A and B are shown apart, each in its own frame.
Chain A
Amino acid sequence: MSNSTTENGVSSYSGTMIAVNAVIAVAVALGAVWVANGFNVFYERLDRVSPTADGGGIGTAFAQGNDIGWLVFMVEAIHAIDVLMGLFILVLVFVHWSAFRRLAGRMRQPGESRAMPDGGDTDTENGGDTQ
């Protein structure tokens, strides 16, 4: 029952499993939040906007007294990871951008004749003209 196939034979997921797992997932999510919130429904509100040290916001405490070494390290490490991953993602963007341009160059350009090499397509909505 954990597996089913569709009309054309590709495997897919069974509706029962989807329903059962969805219900469990929602229960787990709500339960986890309830536990994280100290078995409470409402959480306390802290204004996190513009919490500058100057403004005496909640960030002040961090600026003045973060002496938990591993926490400082974690924040520094995640900054470094952000920068490294950011550079890598930029490389990926540029590689894809240029690859797409090269692939586009191989396609029939807009307005070109629609005549197909195998003669299979006879509709001439673009006029079928050649330059």
Chain B
Amino acid sequence: MTNLDHGKFTRMTTVFHSLLAMDVFFLFFTGYAIMFNDELWWMLTLMGGSGSVAALHRVFGVGLLALITFWALMMVTTDTGRSNFSEVLPTPDDAKAFVQDIQFVLGNAEERHPNARQFAGGTADEIPLLSYVGKGVIFIFAVELALLTLSGLLIWSKTGLMQYFATQTAAIAFVVFHGLLGVVMLMGIMFHIFEHGFHPAFFPVETKAFIPRSMIPEHHDDDDEGTGIERLQLSSGWASASNLAGAATVIGIVSVLTASIYDTGYPVSLELLVGGGPTNLLLTVGVNIGMLVLFFGMVLSVYGNLVRIRWEQQMAQEEGAEAEAAD
């Protein structure tokens, strides 16, 4: 297990990240089983039909509401939290990092920019708390989750909603709007899973979000140039696994995007046929591959926590051995 890199998250944040991920995954499964019921009919049946799925979605909705309220409180009421605000602000370096990533792929740059580097290795001192993708992820997820929670609350009770908007039309438009809002999040998480599951130095999971920084030893060999990635050995399964996952991620993103367009018609017709999309075999396969990517992300999140437990045990053992040696 050498895929520990510089620590990032506090213990509280690692636990929060795991809980948030679980909750959001279940919101995805329940929400899109309703919206993409043409493609995910089996999921709907598996979870006990539409009534039960809608109820489950509400349960996880309350969970999300509690989680983001908790996070907002932590960020405002603690020094550690408040000190994070400056870290999430985008800087010119983040724009440069994105450009340099493209240059790196084209072969015009030798290294990824420090603001893009996931594996820091010997360059840990140069690496900001958040990469440019990380900042984007925080920003987009925060906006998305806030809007999803708000619209989710508004559609909680259709009769209540009709009081505000006078018609059933408004109520249903809001449900559609809520579901479409989540599509960005859905596609974003698929990318997030690929990014943090398939980096060659970390494969099969980047543990930064699972092992708190207090548990990661910090030592720097200052005489080393660069990240030192060339000293790590590539896992033999990486090449095929990353190609498979990359393809599944792309197919999943394209499919849910297409399905979401079909489900209301794009360019948007005024004739909204919610859930009335075409029964398309290709789309059905694609959307299901997307769900597979999500499911795999859920497995990785659990696996990340298992790795943490193993690491904890190993640290405890080593400490025990040191104590014995000192006697």
Contact = CB atoms under 8 A, between A and B. Distances in A.
Interface of A: 2-3, 6-8, 10-14, 17-18, 21-22, 24-26, 28-30, 32-33, 36-38, 40, 43-54, 57-59, 61-63, 65-68, 71-72, 74-76, 78-79, 81-83, 85-86, 89-90, 92-104, 106-112, 114, 116-117
B231 A108 contact: yes
Contacts of A10: 7, 10, 213-214
Given A32-B153, A48-B54, A79-B266, A66 B272 contact: yes
A83 B261 contact: yes
Given A10-B7, A47-B51, A103 B78 contact: no
B283 interface: no
Contacts of A96: 101, 191, 194-195
Given A44-B158, A75-B173, A93-B190, 10 more contacts: A43-B58, A44-B159, A59-B273, A75-B177, A75-B264, A82-B183, A83-B257, A86-B257, A103-B119, A106-B229
B180 A75 contact: yes
Contact of A25 (B66, B158, B257): B66
13 contacts: A3-B80, A32-B65, A37-B156, A59-B273, A59-B275, A61-B168, A62-B172, A62-B272, A63-B271, A76-B268, A109-B234, A110-B234, A110-B235
B130 interface: no
The 10 nearest A-B residue pairs measured at CB:
A25-B70, A110-B236, A104-B200, A29-B66, A29-B65, A3-B79, A6-B214, A52-B276, A25-B69, A49-B50
B102 interface: yes
**A interface secondary structure, majority:** helix
B26 to A, nearest CB: 15
Interface stretch (B86-94, B248-256, B299-307): B248-256
